[in-house]
Structure formats: structure tokens, C-alpha cells
Amino acid sequence: MTAITPLEFIHKKGIFGDHHKKNEDDLMTISEIKNLVIIQLVQYKKSKININNIKIEGLEIPTQSSKVNSNNKTRILWNAPRTWLILSENEKIFETMQKNFKETDFAITDISHSRALIQIKGDQAKELLKKGSPINFNELDPNQCVGTIFHGINIIIDSVSSSQDTFNILVLRSFGESLYHHITDSALEFGYVGV
């Protein structure tokens, strides 16, 4: 992908905030995730296809609320009943899905250029998110996602890992800069590394 990313001109690299006398490896990191294909998959109500019989990139499509199935290249997020978001490093996934999913049963939409994706990683990531979102992050396990707000901006939070708390935050591209500023302002208290 060669398009200009949503945060291309505002994301800063370096160390910011309260980082004095702290080990850089212990600081939270904030980054923009680029070069992902983001697809919205919707199964029509009239469709008789059993979603449990379909796989994308070898992954089952989650049918439980807030569930995420993933491998090292692709994540499938349950977004709503009969609605999923697929985030993949495979640039050909959209074409593959168009071939494998009948348009009489599914709507497949490439929304890659309409979203910004910010990743927050570190021991203070949950504390940062608690500053702007009403979600109980102590109950958000890895491979779960939730739609919520952060300082009044609608977002989707994807809990990627708990070994070092890692969250991917999806937002409409037009709100990407505002969300980025809210997140980086909230992170100053802890100190963070922009990567």
C-alpha cells in the first residue's frame, strides 16, 4: 500500500512525557499500524449459509460477542451480530474473499483507507485507556474486542496480548488525529515512546 496513512504527518517518534530516570524498555509504546487490509464482512439476514463452516486464512469466524480469532497475519473481530472486521497483512485477502463469499449472502467492503489504527503497548496501557473510556479493562481479556468511546470519539479496542498489555484501537480516519492527540496527552503522565 502506498497511500498516505492517517497519522503520517502528526505521529512523532521519540521519548515523551515523564520518562526521567525510567528505563526506556519499561515505557509504554504508541505507534500507528500501517499496511493492513481492513475488511468489513456482513452476512445478510436472508442468507442460509452456516458461518461455522467458513474459514478466512484458516481461521474460524467468531460467533460470540466480543470474540477475536487470530493468527500471526490476520485478526477477525466480532463486531456485531452477523458483522465482522478482518485485519490482515495479506494484501490479496480482499480478492480471495470476493471469490469465496457469494454476494447473495455477504457484503464485503474494503474499509482500509477509512480507518486509523493506533497500537498502545505496555504495563500502563490499561491505565491510559481508563482515562477516556468507561470500559472495565480488568475484564477485557486477550483476543476480545469492544466498541466504546475515548474522550467522546467512537472506537473499537482489540485486546491483542496480555504478556505486555497490547491494544489496537480502530477509529474512523477523520477522527484519527484527534484520537492520537488524546492518547498521547493521556500518556504523558506515564512517559511513552513513539515508534
Residues 77 and 26 in one domain: no
Residues 118 and 108 in one domain: no
* pLDDT bracket for residue 92 (50, 70, 90): very high
Predicted local distance difference test score (pLDDT) of residue 1:
47
Kindly tell me if the per-residue pLDDT of 82 is higher than 90: yes
* Phi, psi (degrees; rounded to nearest 5) at 188: -60, -35
Predicted local distance difference test score (pLDDT) of residue 2:
53
Kindly tell me if the per-residue pLDDT of 117 is higher than 70: yes
Q: What is the CATH number of the domain that holds 164?
A: 3.30.1360.120
Q: What is the pLDDT of residues 155-194, one digit of tens each?
A: 999 999 988 899 999 999 999 999 999 999 999 999 999 9
Given 59, 92, 112, which residue is the final one in a domain? 112
Which residue reads 498521547 in cell numbers?
184
Burial class (CB in 10 A: 0-12, 13-18, 19+), 168: buried
Rounded to whole angstroms, how far apart are CA atoms 190 and 123? 10
Give the mean pLDDT of the chain: 95
How many C-beta atoms surround the C-beta of residue 30 within 10 A? 25
* pLDDT bracket for residue 3 (50, 70, 90): confident
Given 86, 112, 138, which residue is the final one in a domain? 112
pTM of the model: 0.94
DSSP code string of 49-76: --GGG-EETTEEPP-STTBEEE-SSEEE
Given 89, 112, 135, which residue is the final one in a domain? 112
Domain that holds residue 62: 37-112
pLDDT: is 158 or 3 the higher one?
Answer: 158
